[in-house]
Chains A and B, each alone.
Chain A
Amino acid sequence: MVLHTVCHSPYQHGALRQCLRLISAPAALLLMEDGVYAATRAAAELVAIEPAIEIYALQADLDARGISATLNPRVTPIDDRGFVELSLHCARMQAWY
């Protein structure tokens, strides 16, 4: 499984768009830092992503930005421990930045 990480806002930066073009299952997408702005229901970017791809967002980054309540149900929030476990499950990692 490949772990893709995105740390930029989808409104400001093309990182997520590029990632979505080159991600394919088996893969996980982790949204972090400003990347979590794509995890809200208002952001349309995640609609087209294939169902087999797991999508996570760092809980602390969601909480810090006050957007946990508007989370897209497709996204699973994870803490730092979850991040570490996820990275152990993924043999490869690609950071989009």
Chain B
Amino acid sequence: MNVHTKTLLVVINASPYRSTRARDALDLVLTAAAFEIPLTLLFCGDGVFQLVADQRAAAIGHKDLAATLPVLPLYDVKRICVEQAALAERDLDPAQLLLPVEVLGSAEAAALFHHHDQILSF
């Protein structure tokens, strides 16, 4: 039974390999999902680079984040959102990303900040 009433917005703004923020965010999301905490993921800024297909992190001695991201829907993470403007300015096609995402305009993405009980930013 889901006893959690608080909803969580996880804002992912970090590029995949510059720091451990991307990995930390993913660890948090998987943990929260395991505890059935209702959460929404919002990828914005350089965070959208995490979603690029064909990443080969081993080339720079990193663990492959891209291998973990596609499992999120299996963990019952209901909404995986991406800011449209962030994709557009980086010329990324939402259809080419490594998992299916909900593409949001800036106004819709901004509304997410008001519609969750807590925000965690990475």
Contact = CB atoms under 8 A, between A and B. Distances in A.
Interface in B90-113: 106-107, 109-111, 113
Interface stretch (A31-39, A41-49, A69-77, A89-97): A89-97
Contacts, number: 42
Contact of A94 (B11, B45, B83): B11
Given A18-B44, A21-B85, A22-B44, A94 B110 contact: no
Interface residues of A, number: 16
Contacts of B106: 21-22
Contacts of A92: 113-114, 116-119
A23 B45 contact: no
B111 A14 contact: no
A2 interface: yes
A91 B119 CA distance: 10
B121 to A, nearest CB: 5
24 contacts: A2-B113, A2-B114, A2-B119, A22-B44, A22-B83, A22-B106, A22-B109, A22-B113, A23-B110, A23-B113, A24-B107, A24-B110, A24-B111, A26-B114, A27-B113, A91-B117, A92-B114, A92-B116, A92-B117, A93-B119, A94-B11, A94-B113, A94-B119, A96-B121
